Each structure stands twice: as structure tokens, then as C-alpha cells.
Amino acid sequence: MKTSRLWAWIVFALGALYFIIPLLATFEFSLRIRRDGYTFDAYASVFSDPKFHQTFGYSIVVGICTIVVGILVIVPAAYYVRLKMPALRPIIEFISLLPLIIPAIILVYGYIRLYSSSSWLPLTNSAMGTNILLTLGYVALAMPYMYRAVDTGLRTIDVQTLTEAASILGASQTTIILRVILPNIVVAVLSGAFLTLAIVIGEFTIASLLNRPAFGPYMQNIGANRAYEPAALAVISFLITWAAMGAIQLLARFAPKTAKP
Amino acid sequence: MAEANTLSDKALGPALAGPATASSGGPFAFLKSIEIGAVLGIAPFVIFAVMFLLLPTMFLIGAAFVGPDGSFTFQNILDLGTPQIVASFWISIRVSVASAVLGVLVGLFIALAVIRGRLPSSVRSAAFTFSGVASQFAGIPLAFAFLSTLGRLGLLTVLLKFVGIDIYRAGFNLLSFWGLTLTYLYFQIPLMILIIAPAIDGLKREWGEAASTLGASNWQFWRYVGLPVLWPNLLGTLSLLFANAFGAIATAYALTGSSLNIVPILLYAQIRGDVLHNPGLGAALALGMIVITALANIIYLVVRARAERWLK
């Protein structure tokens, strides 16, 4: 069976080439800003741009708000569906997957038509209202990933026994969720959170159509006006995505398991 | 494990719970089992889903049937037949189908090579970690990466020219159907690898051994055992990748500006500046996108139901 192993190596190598060449090319391109040789000046130019700091900071803040709102919306729902209403499970799961089917541009178009100045809930009237709308849009985008992460976390712990034990000790429902369930699934929730952050930081469509000063529209603007800085931004984004995914892998090692095998 | 509990409860059902009739106290008995806390816990999720997923989508679907004067009309739907809009749907569908089909095929081969080709486990885990990163590396930065690679001044373009192959003179253009498809594959293939890996892991080694003991060739194993088992997963991923490409806009927008008029870019321009001069037509465009992604998923559900029927 030596041939099959050789075949596997060839397929793997071809795939690796397709994925590695663009990364190398992007890095090489980002160093080409001077004619007389490779320099990191494009990175210096990116990092010294105050707009880079503003938009990046803005996207991080929106990302953190998205994670908090996402946890508040998703964790109780996933917990009660698992504990009390398993019949609702397929419906809730289907809803949580809807954002994979409804494109972001459709969602934001709906938001603009539904929550504009003349509607019953005029969110787009003020900057704060639009920020809230952007955050809620990101919660929708992150929902398939966040729900799955939370549900996977709940599956590895014994929800039933933990809940019964806590309520026998006199804990209220809120206490059970906040101080018993959440700490037990914190690793799963965090991995969902990092994925959310990776999705939200460079998001373009919703931020751009809601006219928010986010990192995605900033990158698009740089791409339209500069030659070498975009490549530097791509390298930076790739490293951020890599860091977020690396954090998830690292977290997976600390996941608690109380479920019976 | 909650799931195991409910399963064992089901299995032991009558023995543990006694006769089913004893606990039923009228038609609304099931309401007793629903607690107020559980309802309050699920309420935020439901309210969120209605207000920020369902209602906006429904609203657009409704708006597609409203004329400029506010009356009910089919004119917006008929107006989708203009050459510009038909052309943009056609290029969008082509790019989405091509990148989904190629993504599924190439992703399947790479996943098979990594999982069943007995590559070292370090290669395997590196491949999956990288897939996790690359599947999320989309949008604007991906466009920059491919411009740096295959743009007119990109590294690969320059290197190939150096050895005598001028891809742009040969007719290649990054801002085209194939350029966009090649770019989309950068997130489609890893997504396929991530989704299909558990299914390939589920193909037991014993099945291969059993098949070869019975005299099956490698080809016969895949034709009669491997592919039929993976089939529902392959179709499901195909429709997911299709929807993924069909709704994507950021990469295409940063790559081509508006020179390649795929539907999401046309819709983006419409939302920004009413380029079609008719808000109803914009809603109809959105309706068209919803119908196409929904169709892709309905086809998948139907085929999966049939596949599962004979797998049982």
C-alpha cells in the first residue's frame, strides 16, 4: 500500500501550495514599498495611521459587545431547551443556523428598511442606535457558531444533575445559570467568543451599509487608495485570525467534563 | 448527559413512568410541564430571532410586491428580467456553483489524503488548524492576498512571466469568473475539510477490511460503501458552500470594485444609492437571492431525506 501513501502526500502537497503561495506573496508584496529593497515601511505606515487605531478599536469594542449580548441571548435558551424543552430543540437549532442561509447583505437591507427614521423603532436615527443595530446584526452573524459552541459545551457536562444539585441547595434559576452552568461551559463559550471576534473584526457589509467607522470599511478604503498597505493589512488580519483560532485550540485543552460517558 | 437520559427514559418509558394515561390530565396537560423560568429563558432568543432575523427578511419579501404608489404589484418581479439583472444573477450562480463544486471535490480529496492516507498525525493536526484559520480568512483581506499573488504585479504573475508564461496575455484576469472562483476556493476548501472530516473519521477501517476480504477493489469500496455513506454530508456541504459564496460580497467588492456585477454587489450599490431607481426592485433583488439560497437548501433537504431512507 505504499502507492496510496505517496498519492496522499502529493494531494496534500498540492493543497498546501495553493494555501501557502498567497500568504508568501502577500507578505512579499507588503515589503515592496521601496524601490531599493525590502522594508517594513508599509507596516509602519499602517500603524502610524490614526484611523487604523480608531477603526480597529471601534471594531474590538463592537466585537466585545456582540459577545456579551450573544451570551445573554444564547446561553439561557440553549440551557432551557436542553433541560426542559427538548421538543423545541430542532426549531431553535434551525433558527440558529438561519444566518448561514440568509446573507448578511439581506439582513442589513432589512434592518435599514425596517428600523429607519420613519419606522416604529427608529434605530438608525442616532449614532448610538446604529451602533446597537450593528451589534445586533453581528449577534445574528455569530449565532450559528455561538449556539453550536454553547450547545457542545452543554453536552459535555451533566446539566440535569448540576441543576438538581444546585436547586436542592437553594439556588435560584439565575444563580444556577450564572454560577453553576456558565463556569462549567466557560471554555466552550470562550471559543465561541474568539470565533465571533474573528468574524466581527474585519466584517465589511453590515458596517459599511450602516455607515459605521469599523475596521472592515477602513480596509476597503485603504485597498481602493493605496498599493502596498493593503498587503500589510492582509498579513495583520491573517495573524489576528490565526491568534483567535489558536486561542480556541489552546482553550480546548482546559474543557471540564462532568457528563457520564 | 441529558441526551442519554432522555434516550434511556424513552427506552424504559412505560416501566418507569407507569401507564401513560395516568399522568395525562386533559388536553392542556403539557402546559404544566413548561415552567415560567424556562419560558423567560428562551424569550430573549425568540424575540431576537423574530426582530433581527425573521422580520427583516419577511419585510423585504413583502416590499418586493409593493409598487412606487404603495399598491400590490408583480411589476418588481417582472423587472428582474432586465438584461443587467439577469446577467448579474447568471454570473453569481456560476461563481457560486463552480466554487462550491470545486470546493467540495478538492476539499474531499485533501481530507481523504490527510485522514486516510496515513500521513503523520502532526501533518494532520496542522492541516486542520490551518483549515480553521483559512475558513475564516475571508472578506477584504482575502482580496488583498490574491491581488498580491495573481494581480498584474502579484508575485506569482511576476514569477511566471520571468519563466516565460504571461498569464494575463494568455487571457487570465483576476477580475473575472475564474479569478473570483479561484479566490473563493481559499475559504471554501477549508470549510469543506472541516465539515467532512468527522464523516470521514466515521468510515470504519473494518468496512474497508470487510470489503477487501470479500474481494472488492479500492474503486468498488468507494463506489458502493464510502461514497454512499458520505453522500448526504457531501450534498449538505455543497448547499452550504453555495450559499456561502452566493451571499459573499466583501471579497468581490475589494477585488473588482463594481466591474464584476455579481448580485450582492448590485444589491449593495442599490442600497447605497438606488442605482436601479426603484426601491421595490431592490427588494425584489433581495427576494431573488433569498429564493435561490432557499432552493439550494430545499434541494439538499429533499435529497438527504431520500438518501437517509435507503441508508436505513
Residue B18 has pLDDT above 60, yes or no: no
Interface of B with A in 254-293 (CB under 8 A): 254, 257, 264, 267-268, 271-272, 282-283, 286, 289-290, 293
**pLDDT over 90 at B192, yes or no:** yes
Backbone angles phi, psi at A102, to 5 degrees: -85, 115
Chain B contact for A171 (CB, 8 A cutoff): no
- Which residues partner with B72 through β-bridges? B66
Helices of type H across B151-226: 155-162, 177-201, 205-213, 218-221
Confidence of residue B33 (pLDDT cuts 50, 70, 90): low
CA distances from B113 to B131, B162, B188, B216, B303 (A): 14, 33, 17, 20, 27
Distance CA B212, CA B180 (A): 42
ipTM rounded to 2 decimals:
0.89
Given pLDDT bands bounded at 50, 70 and 90, which one contains residue B23?
very low
Phi and psi at residue B72, in whole multiples of 5°?
-70, 135
Establish if A151 touches chain B: CB-CB under 8 angstroms: no
Residue A42, pLDDT score: 92
Instruction: Kindly indicate the confidence band of residue B58, based on its pLDDT and cuts at 50, 70 and 90.
Output: very high
Count of CB atoms within 10 A of residue B12's CB?
10
**Dihedral through CA A127, CA A130, CA A132, CA A133, nearest 10?**
180
B59/A3: higher pLDDT: B59
Q: Find the mean pLDDT for residues B23-32.
A: 52
In the numeric block, which cell numbers belong to residue A124? 438608525
Q: What is the mean pLDDT of chain B?
A: 84
Q: How far is CA A85 from CA A77, A165, A174, B26, B37, in A?
A: 10, 20, 18, 20, 12
Helices (H), chain A: 2-30, 41-47, 50-83, 89-101, 104-114, 127-156, 159-168, 173-175, 182-184, 186-201, 205-209, 215-225, 229-252
Share of chain A above pLDDT 70, in %: 96
Could you read off the pLDDT of A31-57 as tens digits, one per residue? Answer: 988 888 899 999 999 999 999 999 999
Q: How confident is the model at residue B292 (pLDDT cuts 50, 70, 90)?
A: very high
Residue B263 has pLDDT above 90, yes or no: yes
The pLDDT confidence band at residue B30, using thresholds 50, 70 and 90, is low
Residue A151 CB contacts under 8 Å (≥ 6 apart), including other chains: A78, A82, A93
The pLDDT-based confidence of B5 (bands split at 50, 70, 90) is very low
Identify all chain A residues contacting B42, using CB atoms and an 8 Å cutoff.
76-77, 80-81, 85, 88, 92
Note the pLDDT of residue A54: 96
Q: Which residue has the higher pLDDT, A14 or B18?
A: A14
CA distance A161 to chain B (A): 9
Helix (H, G, I), strand (E, B) or coil at B66: strand
pLDDT of the residue at B309: 65
**What is the pLDDT at residue B57?**
94
> Is residue A223's pLDDT more than 80?
yes
**Model confidence pLDDT, tens digit, residues B198-255:** 888 888 778 888 888 888 888 888 888 888 888 888 888 899 999 999 999 999 999 8
